[in-house]
Structure 1
Amino acid sequence: MAFRNARLGALLPYIPTLQDAFEQEEFWNARAELGDTEEQLRPTPVIPPDPDYEAEEVARASASVTLPAATPLWGVIEVRLDRPAHGNPFIDVELHAVFRRPDGSDVQLGGFYDGEGGYLVRVPADVEGFWTFGTTSTARSLDGISGAVMVTEAREGSHGPVRVDGFHFRHADDSRHRPLGTTAYAWTHQPDALQEQTLATLAEGPFRKIRMCLFPKSYLLNASEPEDFVFPGSLTDRFDLERFDPAHFRRLERRIAGTGDVRPHRRHGCVPRR
């Protein structure tokens, strides 16, 4: 078939095992089974939330609410709601919240299921003062919840997100950002010891941003598989693409947060790039 004439050398840096003749044949056989029809390229239809996820007997706004302590400026306001966990909350439940800043402006955003009956709504704390919020949801227990949180002054050394300033960059507090960056695509997919070594190396280096990947990247120097993935499952047993693995994202968030803390002696961390 036509694809057998493709340039195999272009794939070798990404799939080193293709240097083996047997692996090459297995690869082409698997590719042949996919076919070349446009049907393969069509996206999976969107799955709508379940409007009857919770029965009428469930009281509206009955989920338990966990509010954060005072959140520092440039931090993240996180509101946790706990209640329904049956079915598949990743696709059955839709959750939104509107946060009102102290100046009266609103920001609307979606929440997400974090596993074990917990739902999170997060918003950047970009204004000091008293914030209020209210939720809407297709799940009755999550709908109509309201509350308030406080945003205090920024922590020492925290400068806020980076923005374009003409031909330069500045943090939200107007301090200069010099984007000297490096690349570590697959560092969060390595063993914990190597991840810690990466953070230690960044702490001693000059870099102020890092480019990294969410999904695993296979190439010549990185052919091993990570311990977990975005979706539950495995390469052998296939993945459940209608669910996420919350533990994977918690670990990823911890590592991303770690890049912001690697240079305390210079009062600037790294800014991750997707």
Structure 2
Amino acid sequence: MSSVRKLLLIVFCISVFTISKAEIKKEKYTKSLIAIQKWEVVDISFKAKSKLKNPFVVDFSAKFISPQGKEQIVPGFYNGENEWLIRFSTAEAGKWSYTTSSEIKALNAKKGVLLIDEKGREGQKGGIVLNPEKPRNFFYESGKSYFLTAFECDWLYALDYHNEDGLPKTEHLLDLLNENGFNQVVMNVFSYDVSWNKDKKLAKHPEHEYGGPKDIFPFLGNNDKPDYSALNVEFFKKLDRTIELMNEKDIVSHLMIYVWNKLVAWPEMYSDADNMYYDYVVKRYGAFPNVMWDVSKEALYYGRADDAYILERIKRLREGNAFNRLVTVHDYGFCKRHPESVDFISRQDWTFSLYHNMLDDYNNYKTKPVFNIEHGGYEASPYEVFVGSYIDPEVCLRRNYQCVFAGVYSTYYWQAASWNVVIHNPYEQTEDFIKPKFEYFKHMTNLFSKFDFSKFKPTPWRNQAGYCLKSDDTYLFYVPNETYQFRAEFLFHEYESVEFQWMNTLTGEYSQNMVINKKQDFESPWYNNADAVLIIKPQNKKN
């Protein structure tokens, strides 16, 4: 064999064996100790033959006892082929014991022990939680601030559904998101298709169309001819891979259990099939530390659900939410009427007064984070998928900054990834394809890796010709590109000198760091070219 052929063989083998399998750690039931890492997801597998009509609603759970003696009831679920799983993860290291409980004799009173390693996987920070000392912000279980920067991709589940060997498309897209600062994907468990007209240019690129799958459905049958008597275990096994791959890459799944406007043939509300599906999703995905729950996208639009139904769904979710993952509803009206029912407020706001509306929410909800899940900015792509109100990349970026500088979190949409059209590798397309400006968000998240967002508060009385965030020792001013100069006379009334620097929001470039000790106006180096952030650190406070 020639050296060239040997090299090609090596490269081929590497490429094959480096395709992510996104496998959850799986252990057969044993009385012997099972060792896992902190925050690692483990499936404990039990086998039991049963003649029950519907194994998906079998009563099966395990009572876990923590090293500190605290009880945690974890519901189990059917995984097909006479297999039941208890799926578990925890932030608490040490020795855990458990005992199962079930109406099926072969699943009842099984005892086991897990040893949780304190170290955990390198870089992992755990689930997303709230901090009563800073209730308006998100944090990781590790205690580190979580600067939520979300990306909507409703059809993420479908990218590699038919690939039995790995998730190359999903991994490519997730890596792009990671590289550009996105740490959350707003996604549906299942979406079928869109109701609006599709761009005719898609006909030349069917590989970018994921709407209307004939052989993907969470129940038996398909979306055209559903069979609600049982769930499609293979669908959920495939979704497991996606959620686990996101977990490995520290990307949160903002998992919307329902969606009403994507032509899904859902069973009747409150029906046995509806409850079976809903409860199963909660049981199956609650152990993932990277999951945040959302009952439904646009929960009260389209004339299907009402407040009573969503409240009942939240109650069911919390009863089965053994791992206390955060819960919201993609409906601002519902969140506004029932703030006590959700862990954070979700708002959809397309208005031109976005900043002021989000600032009002920040001030009105002092004990909860606020998340703008949809602001009408849907960045242009090679296809017109859903144009909304704003498609210019810089305008879409500005709307995200307006949310952030109002003290709340935001979401980015690219038309060729957020709905039925998904270009998983946009930078590998031909030159005539419009590429997304993912890098804009890399610069934004880099800024807030330098400055902890949880330490800043919107300070509108200092806005002047921009928007102000303030911490104990730093001012951040978001300055639109059309602002000729930014006045901050108050600083020189209070301080002897100030240190300042500019950041270009489009390129991530920082200007030279300078110190001045006399009153002057600030002029952006990128006036009329790019919005900028002015970073000011006052020095030597006057007596």
TM range (shorter): 0.5 to 0.7
Equivalent of residue 184 in structure 1, options 131, 142, 153: 153
**Cα 1:207–1:151 shift into 2, 3 Å:** same
* 1:149 corresponds to: 114
Equivalent of residue 246 in structure 1, options 233, 250, 255: 233
* 2:216 corresponds to: 228
3-state secondary structure, aligned to 1:157: coil
TM-score, normalising length from structure 1? 0.67
1:43-97 superposed Cα distances (whole Å, 9 cap, x missing partner): xxxxxxxxxxxxxxxxxxxxx8257841111122432111214444524632121
Structure with larger RCO (C-alpha < 8 A, sep 6+): 1
Instruction: Return the alpha-carbon distance in structure 2 between the equivalents of residues 91 and 197 of structure 1.
Output: 34
Is 1:83 the counterpart of 2:48? The answer is yes
Aligned length: 204
* 2:245 corresponds to: 258
Q: CA deviation at 1:200?
A: 3.5
Q: CA deviation at 1:99?
A: 0.4
1:112-123 aligned within 5 A: 112-123=77-88
Is 1:211 the counterpart of 2:177? The answer is no
* 2:29 corresponds to: 65
* 1:99 and 1:131 in contact (8 A); partners too: yes
**Cα 1:147–1:89 shift into 2, 3 Å:** farther
* 2:127 corresponds to: 161
What is the identity, as a one-letter code, of the residue corresponding to 1:84? Answer: K
* 1:97 and 1:121 in contact (8 A); partners too: yes
Identity %: 22
How well do the aligned residues superpose, as a CA RMSD in angstroms?
2.3
1:191-212 superposed Cα distances (whole Å, 9 cap, x missing partner): 5564344224223321011100
* 1:100 and 1:107 in contact (8 A); partners too: yes
What is the identity, as a one-letter code, of the residue corresponding to 1:158? Answer: Q
Q: CA deviation at 1:189?
A: 1.9
1:13-52 aligned within 5 A: none
**Cα 1:85–1:195 shift into 2, 3 Å:** farther
Instruction: Return the alpha-carbon distance in structure 2 between the equivalents of residues 91 and 206 of structure 1.
Output: 38
Q: CA deviation at 1:261?
A: 3.1
1:174-226 superposed Cα distances (whole Å, 9 cap, x missing partner): 11211011100112123556434422422332101110000214225653316
* 2:192 and 2:213 in contact (8 A); partners too: no
* 1:7 corresponds to: none
* 2:254 corresponds to: 273
* 1:85 and 1:116 in contact (8 A); partners too: no
**Cα 1:249–1:243 shift into 2, 3 Å:** same
Instruction: Return the alpha-carbon distance in structure 1 between the equivalents of residues 214 and 253 of structure 2.
Output: 20
* 1:88 and 1:243 in contact (8 A); partners too: no
1:147-179 superposed Cα distances (whole Å, 9 cap, x missing partner): 111111211111111112322221111112110
Instruction: Return the alpha-carbon distance in structure 1 between the equivalents of residues 125 and 72 of structure 2.
Output: 21
What is the identity, as a one-letter code, of the residue corresponding to 1:96? Answer: S
Stretches of structure 2 that go unaligned for 5 or more consecutive residues are 1-27, 199-209, 256-543
Instruction: Return the alpha-carbon distance in structure 2 between the equivalents of residues 172 and 226 of structure 1.
Output: 40
* 1:114 and 1:246 in contact (8 A); partners too: yes
1:121-159 superposed Cα distances (whole Å, 9 cap, x missing partner): 123322111111111111111111111111112111111
**Cα 1:106–1:123 shift into 2, 3 Å:** same
Instruction: Return the alpha-carbon distance in structure 2 between the equivalents of residues 174 and 203 of structure 1.
Output: 21
**Cα 1:261–1:135 shift into 2, 3 Å:** closer
